[in-house]
Amino acid sequence: MTEATYRQQVDARGQQILQACYERGSHLSLWSFHAALACGGDADDLVAVAERYHEPGPFSIIPGIVLLNRWPEQIPSAAEHHIKQMFTHSMQQRGNTENHWLMFYVGNLLAAERWADEPIFWNGLPPAVMHAEASRWILGMIARMSTIGHYEYDSTGYHTEHFVPYLALAEYAHDPLVRAQAAKAAQLLLVDMALEYFHGAYAGGHSREGNVNTWTEIGPGQVLNYLYFGDEEFEPDRHCHGFAIPAAAAAFRPPALLARMALDRDTPHVVRKTKPPRAVYRHVQHTPGVVRKYTWMSRSFALGSTQTGLTEAPAGPIDLTSWDLTWQGARNRAKICCNHPYRSARRFSAFLPELPQRVGRAVGSVKPHLQVPDRLFGASPYERMMQHEGTIIVLYQIPAADETPYVNCFLPKGHTWCERDGWILCDFGDFYAGVRPIGSYRWEDIYEAGPYGNWLEGWLLRISDLKAGLVLEAVEKEQVGGFDEFCQMRGSAHLDLSQWREGGSVCVDSLNGSNLQMTYDGRHCVDGQDIDYDDYPLFGGPGVDAPLGNGKFRVTHGGDELTLDFGADQAKEFTPMRVIG
Partner 1 sequence: MTTTGSKWLHGWLVGADGLHSSEDASDWQLVGGTGHPVHDLIRRPEDLFCATMFGLWQVRDSRQADSPQADEPSPWLQLHDETLTEILGIAPDEGDPGVVAVSPYGLAFGAQVDGVHRWQSRCDGLTLNERFSSAVLPHPLAPGHWIVATEDGVRIYSDSDGQTQGQWEGTDLTGLPCRALLYAHDRLWAATDGGGIWRSDDGSSWRRAGTGTDEESVFALGATADGILAGTLRGICFGDGESRWQRSGPSLLVSAVAAHCDDDRIWLAGATPGGLWRSEDAGATWGQTGNFDSVRVILPPISGHGKVGHD
CB burial class (10 A; 0-12, 13-18, 19+) of residue 100? Answer: buried
The nearer residue to partner 1, 447 or 574, going by C-beta atoms, is: 574
Nearer to partner 1, 176 or 576 (CB): 576
Q: Return the number of the residue (25 or 353) whose C-beta is nearest partner 1.
A: 353
Q: 128-167 mask for partner 1 (x: CB under 8 A)? A: -x--xxx-xx--x---------------------------
Closer residue to partner 1 in complex, CB, 30/134? 134
Give the whole-angstrom CA distance, residue 457 versus residue 448: 6
The answer to whether 217 and 238 have CB atoms below 8 angstroms apart is yes
- Binding segment (CB under 8 A) for partner 1, from list 170-178, 278-286, 405-413, 457-465: 278-286
Q: Under the criterion CB under 8 A, does residue 95 sit at the interface with partner 1?
A: yes
Q: Is 367 in the site for partner 1 (CB under 8 A)?
A: no
Instruction: Choose which of 31, 50, 54, 56 interacts with partner 1 (CB under 8 A).
Output: 56
- CB under 8 A: which stretch of 4-12, 277-285, 471-479, 507-515 binds partner 1? 277-285
| 431 phi/psi in degrees, rounded to 5 | -150, 165
Among 281, 443, 447, 574, binds partner 1 (CB under 8 A): 281
Q: How far is the CB of 578 from partner 1 (least distance, A)?
A: 5
Identify which of residues 358 and 442 has a Cβ nearer to partner 1 in the complex. 358
Instruction: Decide: 154 and 323 in contact? Cβ < 8 Å.
Output: no
Residue 101 vs 197, nearer CB to partner 1: 101
Q: Can you tell me the distance from the alpha carbon of 274 to that of 295, in angstroms, rounded to the nearest whole number?
A: 12
Among 280, 385, 392, 511, binds partner 1 (CB under 8 A): 280
Give min distance, CB of 576 to partner 1, in A. 5
Minimum CB–partner distance for residue 377 and partner 1 (Å): 24
Name the minimum Å distance from CB 393 to partner 1.
30
Instruction: Return the range that interacts with partner 1 (CB under 8 A); candidates 74-82, 151-159, 255-263, 350-358.
Output: 350-358
Angle at 45 between CA 41 and CA 48, to 5 degrees: 165
Count of residues of this chain found to bind partner 1 when the rule CB under 8 A is applied: 35
Q: Which of 562, 333, 279, 338 is closest to 463 using CA atoms? A: 338
Q: Is 396 in the site for partner 1 (CB under 8 A)?
A: no
Sign of CA dihedral 156, 158, 163, 168: positive
Q: Is the dihedral of CA 94, 97, 101, 102 positive or negative?
A: negative
| Residue from 284, 345, 489, 564 in contact with partner 1 (CB under 8 A) | 284
Contact call for residue 353 and partner 1 (CB under 8 A): yes
Query: Which residue lies nearer to partner 1 by CB, 141 or 370?
Result: 141
Q: Smallest gap, in angstroms, from Cβ of residue 146 to partner 1?
A: 18
The values of phi and psi at residue 87, to 5°, are -100, -10
Is the bond preceding residue 399 a cis peptide, omega within 30 degrees? Answer: no
| Minimum CB distance to partner 1, residue 199 (Å) | 39
Measured CA to CA in angstroms, residue 123 lies from 111, 116, 119, 136, 467 at distances of 13, 14, 11, 17, 53
Q: Rounded to whole angstroms, how far apart are CA atoms 172 and 267? A: 39
Q: SS3 for 564? A: strand
Report whether 274 contacts 289 (CB < 8 A).
no
Query: Which value, in Å, is the radius of gyration of the alpha carbons in the chain?
Result: 24
Does 123 sit near partner 1 (CB under 8 A)?
A: yes
Q: How far is the CB of 133 from partner 1 (least distance, A)?
A: 6
Judge whether 491 and 503 are in contact, CB under 8 Å. Answer: no
| Shortest distance, position 341 Cβ to partner 1, whole Å | 25
Smallest distance from partner 1 to CB 295, Å: 30
The yes or no reply on residue 55 touching partner 1 (CB under 8 A) is yes
How many CA atoms are closer than 13 Å to the CA of 388, on its beta-carbon side?
Answer: 21
Using the rule CB under 8 A, which residue among 5, 357, 440, 529 binds partner 1? 357
Is beta strand 335-339 parallel, antiparallel or unpaired with respect to 324-327?
Answer: antiparallel
Tell which residue, 526, 34, 544, 6, has the closest CA to residue 240: 34
The one-letter amino acid code at 343 reads R
CB of 139 to partner 1, least distance (A): 11
Which residues in 213-272 contact partner 1 (CB under 8 A)?
A: none
Looking only at residues 517 through 576 of this chain, which bind partner 1 when binding is defined by CB under 8 A? 575-576
- C-alpha 182 chain-centroid distance: 20
283 closest CA partner among 346, 371, 342, 343: 346
Does residue 88 bind partner 1 (CB under 8 A)? no
By the 8 A CB rule, do 550 and 569 touch?
no
Does position 94 interact with partner 1 (CB under 8 A)? The reply is yes
As measured in angstroms, the least distance from the Cβ of 95 to partner 1 is 8
Please give the residue ranges that form the binding site for partner 1 (CB under 8 A): 55-57, 91, 93-96, 101, 105, 123-125, 129, 132-134, 136-137, 140, 280-285, 287, 353, 355-358, 575-576, 578
